[in-house]
Amino acid sequence: MRVPGILPYQREWLRADIVAGLAAGAVIIPQAMAYATVAHMPVQFGLYTCMLPLVVYAFIGGSRTTSVTTTSTIATLSASTMVGAGIAAGSSDAQ
């Protein structure tokens, strides 16, 4: 039986995971800080939301291909679909 999370980690994955982590961090960290600023929260909250959940997921998560970030791809796609359909926040009708 394989235990999910960091326990079944293989040493061969380390180099690729470090490169992937640095590349993702270059995008996710500034984005999380910007979202905190837009929400009128201290910038540190953005850093907490992009780092702490990832560390927790590394130990308890079971999928190596799951995307765990501050933003949700599905929410972004849903919003762009709604805007494309003419539905906006506060609007009483769709065009």
Mean pLDDT of 1-9: 58
- Helix (H) or strand (E) holding 3, with range, is none
Mean pLDDT of 8-15: 82
Task: Convert the pLDDT of each residue in 49-66 to its tens digit.
Answer: 888 877 777 777 766 666
Q: Could you tell me the pLDDT band of residue 1, with boundaries at 50, 70 and 90? A: very low
* Confidence (pTM): 0.55
Show the 3-state SS of 51-81: HHHHHHHHHHCCCCCCCCCCCCHHHHHHHHH
Measured CA to CA in angstroms, residue 29 lies from 9, 36, 54, 70, 89 at distances of 25, 11, 12, 9, 27
